[in-house]
Homo-oligomer: A and B are copies of this chain.
Amino acid sequence: MHRTKVRVVQDALDANNTIAQANRADFDRAGVKVLNFMSAPGAGKTTLLERVAADLPGVRVGVLEGDVQGSMDADRLATLHVPVVQLNTDGGFGGECHLDANMVRSAIPALPLADIDLLIVENVGNLVCPAEFRIGEDARVMVSAVTEGEDKPLKYPLMYRACELVIVNKIDLLPHLDFDLDHLLYNIDQVHPDVETIVLSARSGEGLDAWREWLLRAAAREEAVV
């Protein structure tokens, strides 16, 4: 049984890449840059979007919200008056723990691509499978909250390796944790040497400027990095 299952998964990954390329072609034609935004549940992805999505001069942001079910994050972001489309993985997608290229493709007709410069796809909260499925993105970003411990890069290395930016969030809580920030940064560097990192707090606002500037650069970039 196991051998059969592995073969099916590999076939699915190949089909995924084919569809991801089709998505990418559609986004390129529309002049839309796309970020795949990932983290464990509760690391602060939605708050990080709330804090900057309506505040990027010259860049019109759109959001595609991936969740197993519900539309709470999309409802939060809609109050910013940026285009938000909810994509649920339960109905018709089997309650998947990640977004794949086909799910994103099914949402493209609902996205006002002509009104968007930078599409941020908030993936399902999960440090394993989202890293395995390209969706047609230009870059991948992950959030690693200091409340999750220093060991996460070593336990979920594929996710840290898949991203070109690692945001270390919730540093306002550092005085209240048994947590060594240098140890986390060392572990990130062990699994993905020289990956860019931004250390910040979505709550206090410390470091948010660097996140805003990174997004402006990503939107302006000529070439994709993945």
Q: Which residues of A contact B (CB under 8 A)?
A: 1-2, 5-6, 8-9, 12, 15, 40-42, 67-70, 72, 92-97, 102, 124-129, 132, 145, 147-149, 151-152, 154-158, 170, 172-173, 176-178, 203
Q: Give the nearest-CB partner of A6 in chain B.
A: B94
A33 shortest CB reach to chain B, Å: 27
Complex interface: chain B residues within 8 A of A154 (CB): 70, 72
Q: List 6 additional A-B contacts (Cβ < 8 Å) besides A5-B94, A68-B156, A95-B128.
A: A2-B92, A2-B93, A70-B155, A125-B127, A129-B129, A173-B176
Nearest B residue to A149 via CB reads: B42
Contact status A67-B155, CB under 8 Å: yes
Q: Given the complex of chains A and B, what is the CA–CA distance between A170 and B177 in angstroms?
A: 10
Which residues of the partner chain B approach A92 to less than 8 Å between Cβ atoms?
2
CB distance from A192 to the nearest CB of B (A): 15
List the B residue with the shortest CB-CB distance to A132: B95
Please state if A97 and B5 are interface contacts (CB–CB under 8 Å).
no
Expressed in whole angstroms, the Cα–Cα distance for A155 and B89 within the complex equals 11
Known: A95-B158, A173-B176. A128 touches B5 (CB 8 A): no
A39 CB, nearest partner CB in chain B, Å: 9
Q: Which of B129, B151, B178 is close to A97, meaning CB atoms less than 8 Å apart?
A: B129
